[in-house]
Amino acid sequence: MASTVGVIFTSINDDHVPELTKVRSKGSIPFGGRYRVVDFVLSNMVNSGITTVGMLTKNNYQSLMDHLGSGKEWDLARKEGGLILLPPYSDESEILYRDRLEALKGAMAFLKKAKEDFVVVADSDAVYKLDYSKIVDAHAANNADITMVYHEHDCYDSVSYLTFDTDGDKIKSADVNIKSRGVNKHYINVFVARTSYLLSLLHTAISRGLTSFSKDIILPAIKTGRVYGYRLDGYYTDIDSLQSYYKSNMDMLDKKIRQEIFGGRDVYTKINDAPPAKITETAKVSNSLLHDGCLIEGTVENCILFRNVKVGKGAHIKNCIIMSENVIGENCNLSYVVSDKDSSVSSGVTLAGCEKMPYFINKGTRI
Amino acid sequence: MLRKKECVAMLLAGGQGSRLYALTSNIAKPAVSFGAKYRIIDFPLSNCINSGIDTVGVLTQYQPLVLNEYVGNGQPWDLDRTFGGVHILSPYEAKKDTSWYKGTANAIYQNIRFMKMYDPEYVLILSGDHIYKMDYDKMLAAHKEAGAACTIACMQVPLAEASRFGILNTNPDGTIYEFEEKPKQPKSDLASMGIYIFTASKLFEYLERDEKDPNSEKDFGKNVLPAMLNAGEKMYSYRFEGYWKDVGTITSLLEANMDLLGTVPNFELRDNDRVIHSRSPLAPPAYVTGSVSNSLIANGCDVEGSVINSVIGTDCVIEKGAVVEDSVLMGNIVVKAGAKVNYSIIDEDVTIGAKSVVGAAKTEASKVVGKTSGITVLGRGISVRDGGKVAAGEIVDKDI
């Protein structure tokens, strides 16, 4: 594959999931019993042979930095390239950015320094498996200016999005934030460009005072006929609300989806050592994911349990997502609960939400 | 700048572990899997870093490939250091006297230059086949306070079993007046745990002396420790009260795994103060449905069958209708639909065919007389065909 550098937005549309981003940026939302959602895009990059990745951060990025560390768990602690955090207020931008275009201006110094010919720019809040080198190859073969990745799915309650019409591989037209019924080609916020081309776009944006990536960059570029699409087949989900967070996690209980996302490759993440999960004589576990460190003495049904979750005797938890270091007391009864890290529920408490509106417990809460 | 380390640890990891039979055909004993996601060497390495010792020489000899790869640069134990850290020490070729490690003392002797690089005051000698959590720093403090030349960690064992160990005969103040290696008629029930702290200068002196003795077997227990006692060096015992298990046999390995089970286990791994580190694999969380009781399940497993009183390692698949009971599955094992695994230790990368039967129920199997006392052992990488049968107490190291 041609040499490629990666840029990841870790903090776009954080406000769409206020519950989970109160204490973190979007990229570091815990996912799937073990991961932070950024692990999926970052693992896609590493597994595509990318060894230099710039991470655009904004607010609340302490938890993200704690997760990524030096990047060694992704094999990105390197002398040449590796993982590079790009906080706001770089030498190119003096403001706290509001959207992708302003954010990308903060990556200009990083991109100028990069020796790689191509750049993959991606969001951090989606779960899918994709070999970016194939997009780069298609991009080069088409001699495109921009290649945008899309996924065909039904319109759901997304807050902002971009849909395409294509003519072969070419993108003919695009709609911004217009909801139309049925299956559409949704841009998944992943594009490939030549590094030099992206830099020239950013220079233009600065000199003309442009602010919107979709309206000021993408729509005019499509008119030139040099913007191509690349279809992502297979599973795709992104986290755009607590409801979609809940559904995306529960998708991981589906064997086929699990095999697609985790099979045949590694999804890298920060390693925390915990002993294997312990299931005692009084426990019953069905259709659930359990991370190392769990101690289960009660009944667990259709749940995703992160590291070191304790479920007491006689407790019954059903359809729940319980993040790491939670303690669920004896004889509790929980259904449709999403509990953020380090929380605890005292013995005998009953809590219930529903699929469309899970009951959310803030990080570090004692109930 | 002159740099030094107060204490350097030397971990003897060269043993063949022949009483583990098929489990050590291709790997050294310290690399044998334990407790669903660990290898035996995780325990002494974690003890080192948890005791503030960050310089460890790992002496390998027998089948070192898996062990070398596992230890790697030491990062999982925070032992990747710019000065110090973990180092694999294999036998090497020299201008004269090129040789394999001829005994525990000779192995350490051949690495005197490694230890001297760190100019240590003390040297801690460890073995790579014990399961325990211990604060070596406390032992070092006791060694310093006693002003001893050598301190030996020991623990009480039932007198009936004492003849399997090196036995310390001590005075009331803890000083040792006699050391007996596997005595037929033990005078005390204080067994050496094979953990020694030496004042470095004394260690170097006695190793060099032992090396020149043509009659020596070059062994700490048989030669070096008695020689020091005879010369009147101050030898001190350090009592350890806690869980400690030599997992050198099939029965003790199974027992030690079972000691992890239960709400209040004999040996507790969930301990935030003394975390046992390991090269934790990158597997997703375990998927569990079906019936699991009193068991450990590591990440990456897919359990749709029944698991009772068992330890299931990373990336194992237990298909629907399969039953695993009173067993240890080390990792990356497939137990196909309808298969039964009972009272067995299954090494990594094994496939057990549909409806096959491995071992027999513990109550029956434990009556079997043999090398493994009825425990069935399947060696690394083998397959049991669909409908296959492996009798209780058998040791199998090829496809069947």
End-to-end CA distance of chain B, in Å? 61
Distance from CA of A185 to the nearest CA of B (A): 30
Ramachandran angles phi, psi of B163, nearest 5°: -75, -5
Residues pairing with A176 in the sheet: A162
> What is the C-alpha separation between A327 and A307, in angstroms, rounded?
11
CB atoms within 10 A of CB A55: 27
Q: Locate B62 and state its tokens.
A: 């027998």
CB spacing of A275 vs B75 below 8 angstroms: no
Q: Are A350 and A317 in contact (CB under 8 A)?
A: no
> What is the C-alpha separation between B240 and A242, in angstroms, rounded?
52
Q: Locate A140 and state its tokens.
A: 């080069």
CA distances in angstroms from B380 to B38, B156, B322, listed in the order given: 16, 35, 20
CB spacing of B288 vs A290 below 8 angstroms: yes
Residue of A nearest to B272 (CA): A274
The shortest CB-CB distance from B296 to any of A276, A284, A287 is to A276
Contacts of A30 in chain B (CB under 8 A): none
Higher per-residue confidence, B244 vs A183:
B244
Lowest mean pLDDT, pick from A95-109, B17-31, B123-137, B223-237: A95-109
Distance from CA of B159 to the nearest CA of A (A): 34
CB spacing of B298 vs A34 below 8 angstroms: no
pLDDT tens-digit readout, A190-238: 999 999 999 999 999 888 888 888 888 888 899 988 999 999 999 999 9
Contacts of B36 in chain A (CB under 8 A): 275-276
Residue of B nearest to A258 (CA): B284
Distance from CA of A309 to the nearest CA of B (A): 12
Q: How many helices (H) and strands (E) does chain B have?
A: 9, 31
Q: What does the radius of gyration of chain A's CA atoms come to, in whole angstroms?
A: 21
Question: Whose CA is closest to B200, among B114, B274, B267, B136?
Answer: B114
Which pLDDT does position B101 carry in this prediction? 81
CB spacing of B75 vs A72 below 8 angstroms: yes
Q: Are B226 and B179 in contact (CB under 8 A)?
A: yes
CB spacing of A305 vs B285 below 8 angstroms: yes
Q: In percent, how much of chain B has pLDDT > 70?
A: 98
Residue of A nearest to B296 (CA): A278
Instruction: Provide the CA A264 distance to its chain's centre, in angstroms.
Output: 20
Ramachandran angles phi, psi of B131, nearest 5°: -105, 115
- Judged against a pLDDT cut of 60, whether residue B2 lies above it is answered with no
CA distances in angstroms from A332 to A263, B177, B291, listed in the order given: 35, 59, 21
Which pLDDT does position A2 carry in this prediction? 58
The shortest CB-CB distance from A289 to any of B36, B280, B285 is to B285
Contacts of B35 in chain A (CB under 8 A): 275-276
Contacts of B285 in chain A (CB under 8 A): 32-34, 289-292, 304-306
Q: Locate A111 and state its tokens.
A: 């991109």
**What is the arithmetic mean of pLDDT over A68-73?**
92
The shortest CB-CB distance from B278 to any of A258, A273, A289 is to A273
CB spacing of A273 vs B287 below 8 angstroms: no
E strands, B264-369, where?
A: 286-288, 292-293, 295-297, 302-303, 306-308, 311-312, 317-318, 323-325, 328-329, 334-335, 340-342, 344-346, 351-352, 357-358
Using pLDDT thresholds of 50, 70 and 90, give the confidence band for residue A90: low
Q: What does the radius of gyration of chain B's CA atoms come to, in whole angstroms?
A: 22
Distance from CA of A127 to the nearest CA of B (A): 14
**3-class state of residue B79 by DSSP:** coil
Within an 8 Å CB–CB cutoff, is residue A182 touching chain B?
A: no
pLDDT tens-digit readout, B19-46: 898 999 888 999 999 999 999 999 999 9
**Residues within 8 A of B (CB atoms), A 61-100 only:** 72
CB spacing of B35 vs A276 below 8 angstroms: yes
> What is the C-alpha separation between A304 and A31, in angstroms, rounded?
9
CB spacing of A276 vs B284 below 8 angstroms: no
Question: Whose CA is closest to A255, among B91, B35, B284?
Answer: B284
> What is the C-alpha separation between A122 and A45, in angstroms, rounded?
10
Interface confidence (ipTM) of the complex: 0.91
Using pLDDT thresholds of 50, 70 and 90, give the confidence band for residue A255: very high
A199: phi > 0 → left, psi -120 to 50 → alpha, else beta; which?
Answer: alpha
Question: Whose CA is closest to B363, among B333, B343, B388?
Answer: B343
CA distances in angstroms from A280 to A328, A335, A367, B3, listed in the order given: 15, 22, 25, 50
Q: Are B348 and B33 in contact (CB under 8 A)?
A: yes
The shortest CB-CB distance from B287 to any of A258, A269, A278 is to A258
CB spacing of B269 vs A253 below 8 angstroms: no
Residue at B184: amino acid letter: K
The shortest CB-CB distance from B296 to any of A269, A278, A283 is to A278
Q: Are A104 and A56 in contact (CB under 8 A)?
A: yes
- Judged against a pLDDT cut of 80, whether residue B226 lies above it is answered with yes
Q: Are A113 and A91 in contact (CB under 8 A)?
A: no
Question: Whose CA is closest to B324, among B300, B312, B332, B397?
Answer: B312
Count of CB pairs separated by less than 8 Å, A with B:
109
Residues pairing with B318 in the sheet: B303, B335
**Pairing, β A321-322 against β A304-305:** parallel
CB spacing of A277 vs B261 below 8 angstroms: no
> DSSP H helical segments within B165-247, as ranges?
200-212, 225-230
Handedness of CA A132, A134, A137, A138 (dihedral sign): negative
Number of residues that make up chain B: 400
CB spacing of A283 vs B292 below 8 angstroms: yes
Which pLDDT does position A349 carry in this prediction? 96
Within an 8 Å CB–CB cutoff, is residue B270 touching chain A?
A: yes
Q: Are A269 and A254 in contact (CB under 8 A)?
A: no
pLDDT tens-digit readout, A292-346: 999 999 999 999 999 999 999 999 999 999 999 999 999 999 999 999 999 999 9
Contacts of A308 in chain B (CB under 8 A): 270
Ramachandran angles phi, psi of B55, nearest 5°: -125, 110
CB atoms within 10 A of CB B185: 8
Using pLDDT thresholds of 50, 70 and 90, give the confidence band for residue B72: very high
- Judged against a pLDDT cut of 90, whether residue A267 lies above it is answered with yes
Within an 8 Å CB–CB cutoff, is residue A255 touching chain B?
A: yes
A355: phi > 0 → left, psi -120 to 50 → alpha, else beta; which?
Answer: alpha
**What is the arithmetic mean of pLDDT over B69-73?**
92
> What is the C-alpha separation between A238 and B60, in angstroms, rounded?
49
**What is the arithmetic mean of pLDDT over B205-217?**
94
CB spacing of A290 vs B297 below 8 angstroms: yes
CB spacing of B293 vs A280 below 8 angstroms: yes
Within an 8 Å CB–CB cutoff, is residue B288 touching chain A?
A: yes
Cβ-count burial of B245 within 10 angstroms (0-12 exposed, 13-18 middle, 19+ buried)?
middle
SS (H, E, C) A48-79: CCCCEEEEECCCCCHHHHHHHCCCHHHCCCCC
Using pLDDT thresholds of 50, 70 and 90, give the confidence band for residue B92: confident
**What is the arithmetic mean of pLDDT over A87-109?**
76
Question: Whose CA is closest to B374, among B251, B248, B247?
Answer: B251
What's the whole-number average pLDDT of chain B?
93
Residues pairing with B312 in the sheet: B297, B329
SS (H, E, C) chain A: CCCEEEEEECCCCHHHCHHHHCCCCHHHCEECCCEECHHHHHHHHHHCCCCEEEEECCCCCHHHHHHHCCCHHHCCCCCCCEEEEECCCCCCCCCCCCCHHHHHHCCHHHHHHCCCCEEEEEECCEECCCCHHHHHHHHHHHCCCEEEEEEEEECCCCCCCEEEEEECCEEEEEEECCCCCCEEEEEEEEEEEEHHHHHHHHHHHHHHCCCCHHHHHHHHHHHCCCEEEEECCCCCEECCCHHHHHHHHHHCCCHHHHHHHHCCCCCCCCCCCCCCEEECCCCEEECEEECCCCEECCEEECCEECCCCEECCCCEEECCEECCCCEECCCCEEECEEECCCCEECCCCEEECECCECEEECCCCEC
Using pLDDT thresholds of 50, 70 and 90, give the confidence band for residue A94: low
Question: Whose CA is closest to B254, among B316, B347, B158?
Answer: B347
Q: Are B163 and B184 in contact (CB under 8 A)?
A: yes
**What is the arithmetic mean of pLDDT over A171-189?**
80
Contacts of A262 in chain B (CB under 8 A): 283-284
